[in-house]
Copies of this chain bind each other. A is one copy, B any other.
Amino acid sequence: MEARKSENAVTSVDVARRARVSQATVSRVFSGKSVVRQGTVDRVMTAASELGYRPNAIARSLTSRRTNLIAVVSVDSTHTFYSSILNGISGRLTRAGKQILFFLTDFEAGFDDIFQQVLQYKVDALLIVSAAVSVEITEECSRISLPVVIFNRQIRSSHVFSICSDNRAAARDVADYLAGRGYKAFAYIGSDRRLSDISADRRQGFTERLAELGFGDVRFVCGNYTYESGRTAMRELLDSAGFDAGSRAVFASNDLMAMGAMDAARHEYGLSIPGDIAVVGFDAIGEGAWKSYSLTTVEQPIDKMLDVACSHLMKRLDGKETDGGTRLFRCKILERATA
C-alpha cells in the first residue's frame, strides 16, 4: 500500500533527478511552451515514464493562471431540451481542450445562490444555461474579469454576452401561421415570469401580433414547463367558458407542455388534433417527432447558437473579445401535423 502511494506522489523534481536535468527543464518539457532539445525531451520522457510521473493539471494552473476549467451552470438537466444542450456544450468544449466543471441550480434560485461556490474553483470562464443571474453578480464577474456567456436567456450587461433565440419574433411568426390557417380562438400556455422571462417574451410576441390581426382575446394559462402542467393547462382551457367553439389553437411555450396538452385533449376529451383543436409547441425536441405526436413546433438553431456561444467564449479566453451584448437568433416553424 505504501509503495503505491509513493508512486502516486512522484514529482517533477524526481523526474529531473533521474533525467539529470533541472526541474525547470522538466516543466518546460511538459508545458510544451518553449523549445527544448529533442535529446533532453527524450531523456525526460523516459524518466517520467519509468517513474510513472503525470503532470498535475491543477498545479500547472497555479503558475499559468489558467485552469482550463469552464464552469457550466445549468438548471435541472432532466428536460431533454437542456440535456441535449449540455451534450452539445460538452462536446464543443472538450474538443477545444477545455474541461467542464458542472454546477446544477434550479429555476427559482438561479445562479446567484451558487456563485461563491463556483468562484472557489478559479475557473477560466462561466457558461450559464437558462439560469437567472442578477445584475449584482454580473458586475462582480466584470470586476474580477471573469468572462460570462449566457445561453438561452437575455441579460442586459456590458460584460455578459447573451445568446438567445428571438423569442418575440418567433411567437409573432406562430401567430401569423395560425391566423393564416384560419384559426380564430387562441390560447397561450406559458409560465410565470419568475420561472422564465422567455415565456413572457413569447407571450408578448404572440398576443401583440394576434391583436394586430384583429384577435384581441388571447387566453393565458400558466404551466411550469412539464408535460403534466401542459395536461392540466389544457383541461383548464377546455373546461372554461367561451373556448368551446371551433377553430381553436393553442400555442405552448415548450414541446413538453404541448404534448401534455395534446394528450389531455385527445385522451380525456376525445378531441382530434388538429381537427378540433390545433397545438403548436416550442423547442423541437426529439419526442415531438414521435409518430404519436408529430408536433408542429418552433425550431431554434441550437447548433449554430452553441457554435457562437463556444467560439465567443474562446475569444474571451484569448483576450480577443471583451464586450458584452446580445446575439438573437431567428427561429423557424417546423411544420408537422398538429396545426
Contact = CB atoms under 8 A, between A and B. Distances in A.
Contacts of A290: 227, 259-260, 263
B54 A120 contact: yes
Interface in A82-115: 82-84, 86-87, 90-91, 94, 99-104
Contacts of A103: 94, 99-100
Contacts of A62: 58-59, 62
Interface in A46-96: 54-59, 61-62, 67, 69, 72, 76-78, 80, 82-84, 86-87, 90-91, 94
A194 interface: no
Within the oligomer, what is the number of copies of this chain? 2
A116 B291 CA distance: 43
Contacts of A78: 80, 83-84, 87, 286
A38 interface: no
A143 B4 contact: yes
A308 to B, nearest CB: 21
Nearest to A101: B101
Interface string A237-261: 0000000000000000000000110
A145 interface: yes
A5 B286 contact: no
A15 B58 CA distance: 23
Given A5-B145, A263-B292, A58 B99 contact: no
Contacts of A84: 78
A38 to B, nearest CB: 22
B4 A55 contact: no
A311 interface: no
A144 B87 CA distance: 30
A321 interface: no
Interface in A1-49: 1, 4-5, 7-8
A102 B120 contact: no
Contacts of A77: 77, 83, 86-87, 90
Given A87-B77, A227-B290, A292-B293, A122 B4 contact: no
A245 B127 CA distance: 55
Contacts of A76: 87
A260 B67 CA distance: 44
Contact of A143 (B7, B59, B83, B119): B7
A94 B83 contact: no
B87 A94 contact: no
A267 interface: yes
A80 to B, nearest CB: 6
Contacts of A262: 292
Contacts of A87: 76-78, 104
6 contacts: A54-B120, A77-B77, A77-B87, A78-B83, A101-B102, A259-B292
Interchain residue pairs A-B with the least CB separation, the first 3: A83-B83, A263-B291, A57-B120
Given A227-B286, A227-B290, 16 more contacts: A4-B143, A4-B145, A7-B144, A8-B145, A58-B67, A72-B102, A77-B83, A78-B80, A78-B84, A78-B87, A82-B83, A94-B103, A262-B292, A263-B292, A266-B291, A292-B293
